[in-house]
Amino acid sequence: MRLVPRLPLTPNPSPQGGEGDKRERTLKFTTATASFSQKNYDVAGAIDGDPKTAWAINPHFHKPHWAEFTLAESLGFEGGTVLKFRLVQNLGAARLIGRLRLSALVGADVSQAAKSQKPKQPLILANSAPVQGEGTKKKRAAKAATSGKSVPAADKPLSAEILAALKVEPAQRTPQQTATLLDHRLELDPQARRLRDERDVAEQRLREIRPDTTLVMQEMPAPRDTTIFQRGDFRTPGDPVTATSPAILHALPDGPTNRLTLARWLVSTENPLVGRVTVNRWWAELFGRGLVSTVEDFGIKGEPATHPELLDWLAAEFVGSAELGARSAKREESRTPAPSVPRPASPAPRFEMKRMLRHITTSATYRQSSRVTPELLAKDDQNRLLARGPRFRLDAETIRDQALAVAGLLSDKQFGAPVRPYQPGGLWTKVGGTPLEYNVSPGEDRYRRGVYVVWKRASPYPSFVNFDATARLACTVKRSRSNTPLQALTLLNDPVYVEAAFGVARQVLDEAPSASTEERLHTMFERCLSRLPTNHEATVLRKLFDDQVASLRQDEQRTRQFVGEMVPPKSASLAEFAAWQAVATVLLNLDETITKP
């Protein structure tokens, strides 16, 4: 089929529109699309003016097809418009269009869309039969589907419902058929499309500012029957069971046996477990070991408490239970004297974490020295009797946060999306097998607390893993603590700690630009270890600084490469700045720095 250009359509006023202008005007097409086009006979050949080209649909004969042609300019008269067109079907043999149907759409956007070659809703000259998306239409629909965008109505074949409604006379159509045609018309209307686009943009903005939702469980109207399976076989149900608390503990409070009642049972002053388990975990965080060493197991396989009266008293203070405290006071006095913990003068409010932590950290037991004698180490190497202060290696997150804090880089920004610190390139792709882009967080976000670091369970943050952080594949109450050479290499080479060392060096140089080398060494040492260095330590660090300065001054190119984009302070040369960074790296890598004193 070929539409002859230059004189394919001629508009003039309809007979109902009066005399008016009856002159015919030649119109031009700009674009053409079709449901399917034969190879070398694209639908564009129907309007290109070349008599040797045309639109064909071989081998998809005896199937419904459609084509759309867009005019270069809008048209239409107030009284109506008559369109004339001429089809030339002289290519091939017995290749004529059957059951031809034409439809036209005139809208405000047609002219502007035609000029941009991207019509939003062009004039349609189409057969109304439905076809499967093929050719150009199929590619456009597939592209829209993969990009998550909706396929425009003009790019879709007419549905069976629309075709069925069009075959019925308007007066005989059912309300449902009329509504179907009206909906289809609204999909094609340019003004309605603009309104839908504006609505979609507004809804997208609302989704962006909408807060995250939390899934909430809801009780069933009636609990399902639960039975004990004989020998674990679900085909042989035994005695029925109902939800209740363990018989060894106190009974559930009055009310329906649902989750709310269970929550009230957990926080009841009669519950002996919640308070003990909670304060024991906090004690383990602060002392490195719980009063019950098996913090994850308070059952019959767990270790007994080393100071049961102290554990009872702390639990009573936390829960706010006078009855629990009275039971603890009546218990037989332990052979081991309880550590000194200040007792509050007024009754404690219930479940106040900050108050309980203040009690523990201000106690004489927590504040005592962690020094140990050979005799005491032989008697109590695990510090079960709490004869000395806590001393253990810090957790992975705390080590990173401490280094950034000493350097003055740690950000106190709260909330927001996870941050991505430095890590080896391509690690996520190597582990998961799927190309994943990992971009280091810019600016302040790079120095936020470790709790905000992004966590991919299949590939956790390597710096944290080296310091025994778990992969979070399962809930873990207690982390193991190891001391390996890999941890020292992390503190030496991880970009986070390299930047932290530069930050420490910059702070020391900026705060005392006219200070001597010894004074700066003392300041840096005290900043990292919270104490002044001994004479021997100061001598070793001074020699390290002098050796680094001498070595770096001999190779300026290596020094610039090491410093990178860092700008040295005015009070020091490039070599001195790099040497102070080396001293800071040593201090941040000391066992004393990453160990709770």
Instruction: Please indicate, yes or no, whether residues 44 and 142 belong to a single structural domain of this protein.
Output: yes
Q: Is the dihedral of CA 325, 329, 335, 341 positive or negative?
A: positive
In sequence order, which ranges of 32-174 are alpha helices (DSSP H)? 109-115, 135-147, 160-166
In a domain, 206, yes or no: no
User: What pLDDT shows up at residue 19?
Assistant: 54
The answer to whether residues 532 and 433 belong to one domain is yes
CA-atom Rg of the chain in angstroms: 40
- Confirm whether 455 is domain-assigned: yes
pLDDT of 21: 56
The last residue of one of the domains, among 379, 408, 429, is 379
Does residue 22 sit within a domain?
yes
What pLDDT score was predicted for residue 349?
65
Looking at the structure, tell me whether residues 39 and 91 fall in a common domain: yes
pLDDT per position as a tens digit, 153-169 = 445 567 888 888 888 88
Residue 44 shares a structural domain with residue 65:
yes
Q: Give the closest residue to 153 by CA, choosing from 185, 179, 175.
A: 185
Cα separation, 367 vs 156, whole angstroms: 76
Domain annotation covers residue 201:
no
Short-list 413, 408, 399, CA closest to 448: 413
Q: Which domain holds residue 530?
A: 392-597
What is the pLDDT, as a whole number, of residue 6? 38
Q: What pLDDT score does 78 carry?
A: 66
Are residue 460 and residue 585 in the same domain, yes or no? yes
Examine the domain organization and report whether 453 and 500 are in the same domain.
yes
Cβ atoms of residues 127 and 100 within 8 Å = yes
Asked if 26 contacts 6 with a C-beta cutoff of 8 angstroms, the reply is yes
Which residues of the chain register pLDDT less than 70?
A: 1-23, 76-80, 92-94, 106-157, 321-349
DSSP string for 34-72: ES--BTTB-GGGGSSS-TT-----TT-TTS---EEEEES
Angle subtended at Cα 292 by Cα 457 and Cα 471, rounded to the nearest 5 degrees: 5
CB distance 548 to 567 below 8 Å: no
Q: Are residues 356 and 487 in the same domain?
A: no
Same domain, 369 and 447: no
If we measure between CA atoms, which residue out of 299, 327, 334 comes closest to residue 313? 327
Domain shared by 507 and 358, yes or no: no
Assess if residue 190 is contained within a domain: no
Specify whether 22 is located in the same domain as 107. Answer: yes
Of 129, 158, 187, which marks where a domain is finished? Answer: 158
Q: How many residues does the chain have?
A: 597
Residues 149 and 295 in one domain: no
pLDDT in tens, 171-216: 899 999 999 998 888 888 888 888 989 999 999 999 888 887 788 8
Residue in the structure block whose two tokens are 């290749």: 95
Which domain-ending residue is among 379, 406, 431?
A: 379
pTM (global) more than 0.85? no
- Helix ranges, 83-151 (H): 109-115, 135-147
* 325 and 432 fall within a common domain: no
Structural domain count of the chain: 4
Domain assignment present for residue 406? The answer is yes
Q: Is residue 59 reached through a cis peptide bond, with omega within 30 degrees of 0 on the bond before it? A: yes
